[in-house]
A and B are shown apart, each in its own frame.
Chain A
C-alpha cells in the first residue's frame, strides 16, 4: 500500500438543523486517506458513516473543519467546484444502484464516460465487471447483482481517483454481495484505485487495508489490517 496521503480531513464536523433541534451528525473528525488503500468505514445506523462518506465525496459540505484533497482545500469549494470534483475524481456506488432506467447498461456507463476527458471505454469496464454480454439490457432486465456491477462499471469508467461505495452489498444476497466485494478488491489491486466502503457489516472490514469504526458521530477506532482476507473467504 502506498502511504501518500490523498485526502486529509482536519477537525471536520457536520451538523443539521432539524426543526428546533440541531443534530451533530459528525463530531470533530480527523482522518487521512491514503492513495491506493481500501478503507472500510464500519458503524451502526446513525453513527455518521454515511455523512463522512458524503463529505469525502463532495456531496455535502462540512459545517467546520478542513478537507484537503491533493493540496486543494475542498471545505471552501463552491457548488460548481464540488460538481467538478465529483465529476473528475469520484466514482460512487450506492446500495440501490441508482441506474437510469431508460438507458441500457452500456448507455448508463457511456453517460458517465461522457463527462470526463479521458474515460476508459465502456466495453472495457463492462468486461471487467463481467457484463460485456449485457450491454444492451435495461436495468429492469438485470438482477440486483448485475445492476450493482453496472453501477460499479459506471463509477469506474470515469477513471476516478476515489471510488466511494455506500453499503454496496446492502441490497444483495450473500453470494452476490461477495462477488461485488471481489470486484471492488480487484479494482483496488489491479487498477490501483483508492476505495472507501461504508457498511454496517463488520465482516467486510476483513477485506480492508484499514478499518475506521464509528460510533455516535465520531471515529472510535482506526485499525490497520496487516493481512486483508480475500472477499471470497469472508463470512457473515
Chain B
C-alpha cells in the first residue's frame, strides 16, 4: 500500500492549509480536554483523599459552651460514626507592625489522627500540649505564615478574653476545612495577611478562653446512608440546653463550598468546551472529505478499475481524517499537558491541598487519544460512504454541472429581483451547500459565543467589584468590637484625624423561623440614613433600610421560600444570656453579592435585644492620606476585635485578576482560531469547487478584485447573521455555565457589558476578514489558461 500512502501525503500536501487548520482545532479541543479534565481529576482526587485522610466533617454544630461529656452522648446517636468536640473562635492578633489581623483559633485534642477535621502537618513540628517553657505552641496555615513572613519559633501576640498572650509558631498545617481560607462569605477572595487559621492543643484553648472541660463546637461524621435529618435532630436535642448557635451541613462549609464550586465549574466546562471544538473539527473533516471524494471521483474510478477494493479506498480516504486527528491530538496532548500544569499551579495557589495537584494523568491522555481518533474515524468513514456507489465506468465521464437549488430568498421577488447576478450566485451557492452553511454558521456562532464567554468573566468580576466596593458599600474600614458598645463610643474614633465619616452597625446572629423551618442568618443593623453599607436589589440597585421590618437575605429567602410581605420570627444566637425572639415583616429581599446578610434598622436590632443605642461595630470612610495612621491607632485599641481594610481586599482581588488575564487571553485566542479555521475552510472549499467558474469570470472580463468580491458576497450572508446569533448564544452559554455551577454562598449574576458584545462582534469580524483574506489569496493565483484544459 506504499502507493496509497504516497498518494495520502500528496493529498495532505495539496491541502496543507486546511489540513493544519483542522489539526489545530483538534489540538485546541484535545488540549482543553486534557487541561481541564486533568485539573478536575487531580483536584477532585486530591480533595477526596484529603477529606478521607482527615475525616472531614459531615455536619457542624456551634454551641455557646457544652461539657465535653456530651461528645459521648452524640456518639451514641444512630448514624453518627465519629465526633469531635473543639473550641473555635475568631480572635485578634497584634502584629509587630502595629497592624491587626484575625485568626480563627481552632483547638485539637491529641492525638489528632482519629478526630473529625484532623490536620496535616506541612512543615515544622506539631504543637505540644505542655511545652517545656510553659508557653503556648501553635500551628498556622501556610498562607498566613508566608504572607506575614513568619519563621518557626516566632512569637505572635493574640488576644483572648481581653487578655494578650504570646504564642509560639512551631509549624504550618492545613485541614480539610481550610482548603480555601476566608473569614466569611462577605469576602471575595482570601486575604492571608489579615486572616489565618491558628491551631492549638485543646487543653491550651480551654485555658485561653476559660472553658475548662468544655467545647463550643461539635463536629460529626455520619455513616453513609444514615438518616441525616434524624441524626441531626437528635444531636440538636442533645445540644439544645447548651445554646445551639448554628448547625450546618458540609455543603455550607465555606472552604468546601468554594472548592466544590470550582470543581463543578471545571466539570461543566470539561465537557462542553472540548466538545464544541471536536464536533466542529469532525464536521469540517466530513465536509472536506465529501468534497474530496466528489472531485476525485475519476481517480477513485481508476483505482477501482485497477483493482483496489472499496475497503482499501475507503480506508485510504478515511486515513486523511485520521491523520488530521493524529497530528491534532499529538499537538493537543503536548499543549494539554502544559495547560494541565498551568491549571495545577493556579489551583495550588488557590487551594491549600497537601497532596500535589499536578501530575500527568495518563488515563486522560488515553481518553483524549481515543476521543480524537474517534472523531477521525467517525468523520472519515461516514464521509467516505459515497465511494461505495462510484462505478469505474461512470466515473470516467465528466460530471454534469452542480445542481443548483433556488434560494429561499427567491420567494421574495421584490428583494430578489433587485439583486445583482453576483449576489444571486452567492445566495444560491450558500443554499446549495446546506451542510456547509450549517457547519460554518455553527462554527462562527460558537466562536463568537466563546468570545463572549471569555470576556464575560472579566465583566462579571468588574461588575462584582463595582457592586461590592462602590454600590453596596463604600467604606474604607469595617471594625468589630469585642463587645457591644454604646453609640457614643464612636466619638473616640471619629475624632481621629482623617476620619471623614463613621457609621455604627449592629451584627446580630439569628435563626430565622418560618413555617417550622429555620435558616441561620446575620441581621445587620444599620441606620436608615447610613451611606456606607447597603443591601441591594437583584439588579444591583441599593435598597434603603426601613425603620421597621427586615430586608431578608437571598439565602434565607430561598431556603425558607420567603417573599415580600411574609412575617418571620427571629431568634437571637448571641452566645450569652437568654435568646430573644421577635416577629418581623419582610419588606424586601437582599441580593447583595457578597456577605449576603439580612438588614434591619439599628433601632430595630436594639429593640430585639431590649436594648438601645448599642453597636457591635462600625464602618468608616477615611482620608487616604491618613489611612495608615488611622489603622495603627485603631490597632492599638483593645476593644476592637477586627479591622477590615477594603483597600487590601481590593488589592488582593486585583492581583488574582492578573492571573485571570492569561486564561481570558488563551480563550480569546482559541475562539479566534476556531472562527478563522471555519471561515478559511469554508472559503477554500468553495473556491476549489468553483475554480473553473471563477476563472471563466476572469476570461469574460471580470477583474480579480471583482471575482474576489463574489467570494466575499458568499461569506457575508453567512458570517454577519452568525456573528449576531453568536452574541445571544454567548449569553446563553454563560447562563448555562453559571446554572451548572453551584454557587450557594454567592449570588453571581450573568453580567455582560454592551462593550463586550461589541468587542466579540468585532472579534468575529476580525476572524472572518482574516480567514477570508488568507483563503481568498488563491484568487490571485487563479490560472485562466487551465480553463481550456480538460475537466479533471
Contact = CB atoms under 8 A, between A and B. Distances in A.
State yes or no: do A and B come from one complex. Answer: yes
A59 B422 CA distance: 22
Interface in B392-441: 398, 400-404, 420-422, 424-425, 428-429, 432
Interface string A35-49: 000000000000000
Contact of B429 (A87, A102, A116, A140): A102
Contact of B699 (A59, A114, A116): A59
A102 B432 contact: yes
A80 B703 contact: yes
Contacts of B466: none
B701 A83 contact: yes
Interface string A135-160: 00011100000010000001100100
Interface in A80-133: 80, 83-84, 86-88, 90-92, 94-96, 98-103, 107-108, 110-112, 114-116
B629 interface: no
Interface string B688-707: 00001101111111111000
Contacts of B695: 98
A99 B791 CA distance: 13
Interface stretch (B9-17, B277-285, B442-450, B782-790): B782-790
B696 A94 contact: yes
A218 interface: no
Nearest to A154: B700
Contacts of A59: 699, 784-785
B699 A140 contact: no
B403, B701, B784 interface centre (most CB from chain A within 10 Å): B701
Residues of A contacting B: mostly? mixed
A101 B404 contact: yes
A61 to B, nearest CB: 11
Given A95-B788, A96-B791, A115 B696 contact: no
A138 B429 CA distance: 12
Interface string B667-705: 000000000000000000000000011011111111110
B703 A114 contact: no
A54 interface: yes
A111 B432 CA distance: 20
Contact of B421 (A50, A91, A110, A140): A110
B422 A111 contact: yes
Contact of A138 (B404, B420, B699): B404
Contact of B700 (A87, A95, A102): A87
B402 A87 contact: no
A57 interface: yes
Contact of A103 (B424, B692, B784): B424
A101 B698 contact: no
A54 B785 contact: yes
A20 B687 CA distance: 30
A194 to B, nearest CB: 17
Contacts of B791: 96
A140 B401 contact: yes
Contact of B701 (A60, A88, A96, A107): A88
Nearest to B692: A98
Contacts of B700: 86-87, 91-92, 111-112, 115, 154-155, 158
A66 to B, nearest CB: 21
Contacts of B401: 99, 101, 138-140, 147
B785 A96 contact: no
A166 B698 CA distance: 16
Contacts of B784: 59
A59 B786 CA distance: 10
Interface in B700-723: 700-704
B701 to A, nearest CB: 3
Nearest to A92: B699
A84 B428 CA distance: 28
Given A60-B785, A98-B692, A98-B787, A107 B424 contact: yes
Interface string A61-85: 0000000000000000000100110
B422 A140 contact: no
B688 to A, nearest CB: 14
Contacts of B704: 83
Contacts of A112: 700-701
Contacts of B425: 100, 102-103, 107, 111
A158 B701 CA distance: 10
A92 B701 CA distance: 10
A108 B696 CA distance: 11
A83 B704 CA distance: 9
A83 B788 contact: no
A43 B415 CA distance: 50
Nearest to A95: B788
Contacts of A96: 398, 692, 791
B403 A98 contact: no
Contact of A86 (B400, B428, B701, B788): B701
A102 B404 contact: yes
Contacts of A155: 700
Nearest to A137: B404
A134 B398 CA distance: 23
Given A96-B398, A140-B403, A83 B703 contact: yes
A84, A88, A140 interface centre (most CB from chain B within 10 Å): A140
A54 B701 contact: no
A90 B699 CA distance: 9
A45 B431 CA distance: 40
A54 B703 contact: no
Contacts of A98: 692-693, 695-696, 699, 787
Contacts of A102: 402, 404, 424-425, 428-429, 432
A116 B701 CA distance: 9
Given A94-B788, A96-B398, A101-B404, A87 B701 contact: yes
Contacts of B697: 100, 111
A116 B421 CA distance: 14
Nearest to A151: B696
Nearest to B407: A102
Contacts of A108: 421
A103 B698 CA distance: 16
Interface in B760-792: 784-785, 787-788, 791
Given A86-B700, A101-B404, A140-B401, A111 B787 contact: no
Interface in B103-142: none
Contacts of B422: 111
Contacts of A166: 788
Contacts of A116: 701
A155 B701 CA distance: 11
Contacts of A107: 421, 424-425
Interface in A166-225: 166-167, 171
Contacts of B785: 54, 59-60
Interface in B357-401: 398, 400-401
Contacts of A154: 700
Given A95-B788, A140-B402, A90 B701 contact: yes
Contacts of A139: 401, 404
Given A86-B700, A92-B700, A158-B701, A101 B402 contact: yes
Contacts of B429: 102
A23 to B, nearest CB: 13
18 contacts: A57-B699, A86-B699, A86-B700, A87-B701, A96-B791, A98-B693, A98-B787, A99-B693, A100-B697, A103-B424, A108-B421, A111-B421, A111-B425, A111-B700, A114-B421, A138-B401, A139-B404, A140-B401
Interface of B: 398, 400-404, 420-422, 424-425, 428-429, 432, 692-693, 695-704, 784-785, 787-788, 791
**In the complex, the 8 A-B pairs of residues with the closest C-beta atoms, listed nearest first:** A87-B701, A98-B696, A102-B428, A139-B401, A111-B421, A101-B401, A138-B404, A86-B701
Given A90-B701, A108-B421, A111-B422, 17 more contacts: A59-B785, A83-B702, A86-B699, A92-B696, A98-B787, A99-B696, A100-B425, A100-B697, A101-B401, A102-B404, A103-B404, A111-B425, A111-B700, A114-B421, A138-B401, A147-B401, A155-B700
